[in-house]
């Protein structure tokens, strides 16, 4: 059985699905591996690093897809790539089924089994495969780094002979994986950090990292069984806006990370709320590509409003492609290891396995 991987569209995606380390691990399962020529050259990884551990390098992506039983990718295949996929193979990636319905319908019509790793259940056994957590963790870290680069003041408190420089104040909206990493990173850099989230369980996590948790009084349960945030009521949004009014006046940097699975990002910062911040402040919207948590945010752009920089994020993992690829490839290896049966020497699509059943796209 052969596992293959083809190049992504580099202008959109710099991550790869296979590193030499994970290729070696896949071969260790008893599988063969092949890649397209110059597969990870843009990351400084030469084809010879793959060849040295037994990976076959094909001249074109068509040769890879024609010879592979299982294809691993980062993003949903393009139209040309879909046409080259052969029937009865398996495709694994972060395929964003709600956004790419047309492409996925075409793939399903070719009798190809599709696994989208964003659909993995949040259970202990799936943690090593959890691409949302591995990539969000990096996003939270990078958000703080980018904010520090744009912020035109020092972040930690500094006591000098010329006087004391006060510590920057950072507010994180959304205390999921990305938000908690943002709290931890900002705290390590010496900022005074606070965070808010609709899930009451986040309070303990934020405080364990040294942040202050800002609470909105609520009676409703805003956490799904899977641990994700639910959409809030109009009453909650009103209370949240009141709390934000005071918080925004005090903070120098706001990092927005709030997302609801399968839905547009909740709009938390209205135009009026944004304008409450001081000139020189920063809003960094990690949710910009899903509609944005903040007014004035646009993917890939920095908009200045009353002296406030509103940064809309686009393709953030392209700024950390080596680390992001390493973690993503390990997630993929864990998924393949669970899918492959050494005894049968075949991929076992066992629908009684919750991991396989939940991540398999049956229809759109």
pLDDT at position 262 over 70: yes
Enumerate residues 6+ apart whose C-beta is below 8 A from 319: 142, 146
Round the average pLDDT of the chain to a whole number and report it.
Answer: 93
Strand ranges (E), the chain: 2-5, 32-36, 56-58, 70-72, 90-93, 113-116, 158-160, 163-165, 169-173, 192-196, 212-213, 253-256, 282-285, 302-305, 308-312, 340-341, 346-347, 360-361
Q: Which two tokens stand for residue 70?
A: 């299982």
Q: What is the pLDDT of residue 362?
A: 85
pLDDT at position 147 over 60: yes
Q: What is the pLDDT of residue 252?
A: 98
Beta bridge partners of 115: 92, 360
Helix axes 321-339, 20-28, angle to 10 degrees: 10
Confidence of residue 285 (pLDDT cuts 50, 70, 90): very high
Q: What is the CATH number of domain 2-119+320-361?
A: 3.40.50.720
Residue from 39, 103, 130, 202 carrying the catalytic annotation: 130
- The CATH homologous superfamily to which domain 140-318 belongs is NAD(P)-binding Rossmann-like Domain (3.40.50.720)
Confidence of residue 227 (pLDDT cuts 50, 70, 90): low
206 phi and psi, to 5 degrees? -65, -45
Confidence of residue 120 (pLDDT cuts 50, 70, 90): very high
68-116: per-residue pLDDT in tens?
999 999 999 998 899 999 999 999 999 998 889 999 999 999 999 999 9
pLDDT at position 127 over 90: yes
127 as an active site residue: the answer is yes
12-27: per-residue pLDDT in tens?
999 999 999 999 999 9
228 as an active site residue: the answer is yes
159-215: per-residue pLDDT in tens?
999 999 999 999 999 999 999 999 999 999 999 999 999 888 899 999 999 999 998
Residue from 47, 78, 84, 122 carrying the catalytic annotation: 122
Q: What is the pLDDT of residue 130?
A: 97
284 as an active site residue: the answer is no
CA–CA separation, 199 and 222 (whole Å): 6
Residue from 128, 146, 218, 228 carrying the catalytic annotation: 228
Q: What is the pLDDT of residue 312?
A: 97
Q: What is the pLDDT of residue 200?
A: 82
CA–CA separation, 147 and 140 (whole Å): 11
Q: What is the pLDDT of residue 224?
A: 60
**Shared fold status for 2-119+320-361 and 140-318:** yes
Q: What is the pLDDT of residue 228?
A: 60
Beta bridge partners of 285: 256, 312
Q: What is the pLDDT of residue 168?
A: 98
Q: What is the pTM of this model?
A: 0.91
Query: How much is the average pLDDT of 228-236?
Result: 70
Q: What is the pLDDT of residue 218?
A: 67
32-58: per-residue pLDDT in tens?
999 999 999 999 999 999 999 999 999
122 as an active site residue: the answer is yes
Q: Where are the domains of the chain?
A: 2-119+320-361, 140-318
Residue with tokens 């349960």: 221
Confidence of residue 219 (pLDDT cuts 50, 70, 90): low
Report the percentage of the chain scoring pLDDT > 90: 86
pLDDT at position 240 over 60: yes
Confidence of residue 327 (pLDDT cuts 50, 70, 90): very high
Q: What is the pLDDT of residue 275?
A: 97
130 as an active site residue: the answer is yes
CA–CA separation, 273 and 359 (whole Å): 39
CA–CA separation, 275 and 295 (whole Å): 10
pLDDT at position 231 over 80: no
Residue from 116, 133, 136, 194 carrying the catalytic annotation: 133
Q: What is the pLDDT of residue 364?
A: 56
Q: What is the dihedral of CA 52, 91, 349, 225, to 10 degrees?
A: 110
Enumerate residues 6+ apart whose C-beta is below 8 A from 350: 356
């Amino acid at each position: 059985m052969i596992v293959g991987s083809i190049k992504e569209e580099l202008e959109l995606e710099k991550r790869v699905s296979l590193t030499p380390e994970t290729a070696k691990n896949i071969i260790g399962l008893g599988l063969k591996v092949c890649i397209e020529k110059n597969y990870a050259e843009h990351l400084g990884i030469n084809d010879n690093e793959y060849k040295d551990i037994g990976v076959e390098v094909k001249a074109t992506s068509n040769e890879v897809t024609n010879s592979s039983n299982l294809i691993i990718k980062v993003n949903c295949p393009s139209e040309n790539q879909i046409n080259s996929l052969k029937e009865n193979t398996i495709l694994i990636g972060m395929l964003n089924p709600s956004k790419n319905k047309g492409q996925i319908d075409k793939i399903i019509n070719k009798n190809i089994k599709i696994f989208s790793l964003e659909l993995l259940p949040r259970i202990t056994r799936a943690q090593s495969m959890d691409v949302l957590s591995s990539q969000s963790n990096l996003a939270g870290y990078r958000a703080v780094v980018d904010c520090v680069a744009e912020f035109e003041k020092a972040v930690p408190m500094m006591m000098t002979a010329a006087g004391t420089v006060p510590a920057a104040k950072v507010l994180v909206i959304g205390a999921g994986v990305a938000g908690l990493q943002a709290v931890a990173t900002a705290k390590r850099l010496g900022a005074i950090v606070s965070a808010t989230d609709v899930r009451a369980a986040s309070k303990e996590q934020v405080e364990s990292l040294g942040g202050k948790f800002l609470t909105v009084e609520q009676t409703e349960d805003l956490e799904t069984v899977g641990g994700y945030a639910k959409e809030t009521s109009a009453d909650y949004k009103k209370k949240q806006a009141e709390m934000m009014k005071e918080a925004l006046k005090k903070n120098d940097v706001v990092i927005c990370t709030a997302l609801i699975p399968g839905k547009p990002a909740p709009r938390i910062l209205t135009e009026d709320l944004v304008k409450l911040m001081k000139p020189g402040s920063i809003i960094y919207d990690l949710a910009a590509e899903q509609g944005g948590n903040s007014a004035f945010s646009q993917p890939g752009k920095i908009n200045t409003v009353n002296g406030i920089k509103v940064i809309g994020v686009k393709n953030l993992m392209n700024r950390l492609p080596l680390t992001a690829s390493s973690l993503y490839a390990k997630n993929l290896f864990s998924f393949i290891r669970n899918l492959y049966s050494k005894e049968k020497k075949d991929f076992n699509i066992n629908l009684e396995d919750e991991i396989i059943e939940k991540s398999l796209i049956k229809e759109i």
